[in-house]
Every structure is written in C-alpha cells, then in structure tokens.
Amino acid sequence: MKNLTMKTTALLVALVIMGTTFTSCKSGPKDDAVKAAVETALLSNPHIAEAAVTVEKGVATISGQVPDDATKADVDKTVAGVAGVKSVVNNLTVVPETPSVPVAATDVLTNAVKDATKDFPTVTATVNDGVVTLKGEIQKANLQKLMMALNALKPKKVDNSQLVIK
Amino acid sequence: MALQEKYKELIDTATAQGVNNLNVREQEGVLYIDGDASGSIKQQLWDTYERLDPNYSSGDLVMNINSIAGVTEGSKLKVTTNSSNLNIRSGPSTDADIVGKAARHEVVTLVSKANDQWWEIKTDNGAAGYSYTQYLTPL
C-alpha cells in the first residue's frame, strides 16, 4: 500500500505539472486556477490512482482510474465543491485494485528451499529475488512432489527449465 | 490474461471442486493460484497442471493448494515417506538435530503447527519433535 500511495502521489504530481504546462495556453486564466484547485482537492484522496483534470468554462472533466464506485462518487463531490466549478463530467473508470502477490523473504525462502530439496541430492536450487532456479537432474516420478513442495513456499516463480528430467 | 486462458481448465476445475479461499492472480508473467482443498483435489489439480504444462517447465504458474490447512492439533497423521524412516528434529529446520525417527506408515499425533512445512509431532513411543509436513498425511 505504501508503494501504491507513493506511486499515486508521484503520478498526481506529474499530472499537475503536465496539466499546467499543456493547458495553460488554450484555457483562460480562471479555468487554470480552477483546474489547479481541483487537482489540489483530489490530491487529498489517497484512493485515486490516476486522474487527469481539464477545466473549460467552469466545466471540470475528470478522467482516469479509481479502485471503486465509492471513490468515483467521492470525486464528484470533491470536485463539485471546488470554487469556480460549475459542473462536473466524471469520466473515471473503476478498476479494482489487486494487491501484489506476497513473496517470501529471501532468507526464509532459501532455508525453506534447502529443506524441500534435501531429499533430492541430485537437484541444486538457488534463490534469487524470490525466483527459485533448479538445476541438476531428477527422476520424473519425483518431479511433482518436488514442485508441490516448492510451490508452497511462496516463491515469485519456480524455474526448472534447466533441470534434466529423467 | 493470457495465462488465465492457458490454465483455464485448471482454474475451472479448482472452482468446480469447491477449493476454499481460491485466489487467482496474474502478476509480471506469472499466474498465482492459492487455496485450500483436500489431498485428492490437490492431486487432481497438480495432474491437470502437469498435463497443461508438461514437466511444469514454463515457470509461469505458482500453485499453492494447501491440503493441510484444516488439520487440527491432536489429529492422527500417517508417515508417508517414500521408503525410509521420517526424521524427527529438535527444531523446524533440516539444520536442527535429529532427536527421533518415525517408521514409514507409522501413525503419529500432531502437537502443533510451526508453519506449513514443519509440524511438531509425537509418536506413541514418546519421541517428539518437528517433522516435514510433506511426509505426513492426515488420516
């Protein structure tokens, strides 16, 4: 979540900068001020992942992505409450957030992989950034058992493409 | 979404078999399937996985079907090693000392779960310590 929030903030900051640069020439000064106020108001909502704001003659158009309908409705209220906004066109699309897949810490995973491969001395396993790479050889009859054990350890990925299966 | 199509049969089977807490996600070119199910459903899903991706060689799926989530303390477990005795260790790691053995097909008792890989068990002969869950099958 921390990561997401940082990303959100960075995106919004980028959008604010881009917005001021690109639209200042075509809209009037009043619209620009309203647009800046809308963007500031939206910054206070941590759920808005991506939103772009345009204001033309007091009509604020918001596009981008939010994680749920409630956030979309919140944006309506927030934007409508900004001084100078006459009406709001809410073009936000709802894209549910998917939390990132939990991957075991490297030391935990390394120890767990060592335990899981102990009974297969012809297999060598290395762990790098959550990826378990298998080399050496294994009997076909034992492959499923080994893969079941490794898949249960919360790896990012199990790469056995270099493992010789006999 | 391409991986969900490749493994559609697997996901459909997991859904049809009523896998509990089923969670299917795709991230950075890997599909993650998690859930809780019986040992026989887990076996069926792994056989399906192997058919869709022979030898699991694509490295594009991490499937963690937990068939031991519902096992409670005091449950009886059968030792299902391939041929040898099961080591009982002083702690939840292969680095820990071996403090006892359980014979293949012996029935032991679950004392507590250290994690999904290591359980504390005791034998009827009084040997007690940690064993690897892969070789323990709930009765």
Hey, are the CB atoms on B59 and A159 less than 8 Å from each other?
Answer: yes
Mutate to test the interface with A, among B32, B47, B62 (most CBs of A within 10 A): B62
CATH top class, domain B2-66: alpha beta
Residue-wise pLDDT for B58-109, tens only, equals: 999 999 999 988 899 999 999 998 888 999 999 999 999 999 999 999 999 9
Task: Give the residue from chain A lying closest to B62, CA to CA.
Answer: A151
Q: Mean pLDDT throughout A115-132?
A: 94
Q: What is the pLDDT of residue A45?
A: 78
Q: Give A165's contacts in chain B (Cβ within 8 Å).
A: 55
Helix (H) or strand (E) holding B33: strand B30-36
- C-alpha distances in Å from residue A159, one per residue of A104, B56, B60, B134, B136: 16, 9, 8, 21, 26
Q: For residue range A69-104, list pLDDT tens digits in order.
A: 888 999 999 999 999 999 999 999 888 777 788 899
- The segment(s) of chain B belonging to CATH 2.30.30.40 are 76-138
The answer to whether domain A106-165 has CATH 3.30.1340 is yes
A98, A116, A159 member nearest B25 (Cβ): A98
Question: What pLDDT does B1 receive?
Answer: 64
Lowest mean pLDDT among A91-105, A151-165, B9-23: A91-105
Q: Which of B46, B59, B134 sits opposite A160 (nearest CB)?
A: B59
CA dist B16 to B8, B20, B26, Å? Answer: 12, 11, 20
Mean pLDDT lowest among B8-12, B14-18, B24-28: B24-28
CATH number of A2-94: 3.30.1340.30
Q: Domain B76-138 belongs to what topology?
A: SH3 type barrels. (2.30.30)
Which regions of chain B carry the CATH code 3.30.70.1770?
2-66
Name the one residue in this structure whose structure tokens are 């089923």.
B22
> Which residues lie closer than 8 Å to B11 by C-beta, 6 or more apart?
B4, B24, B33
Q: Where are the domains of chain A?
A: 2-94, 106-165
* Model confidence pLDDT, tens digit, residues A24-77: 445 567 999 999 999 998 888 777 767 899 999 999 999 988 888 888 999 999
Mutation for testing the B interface, residue in A113, A144, A162, A163 having most B CBs under 10 Å: A144
B62 vs A158: CB contact, 8 Å cut-off? yes
A107 closest CA partner among A130, A134, A133: A130
Q: What's the distance, Cα to Cα, between the start and end of chain B in Å? A: 39
Task: Give the chain B residue whose CA is nearest to the CA of A100.
Answer: B27
Residue A20 CA, chain-centre distance (Å), reads 26
**A2-8: average pLDDT:** 55
Least Cα separation, residue B16 to chain A (angstroms): 21
Domain A2-94 and domain A106-165 have a common topology: yes
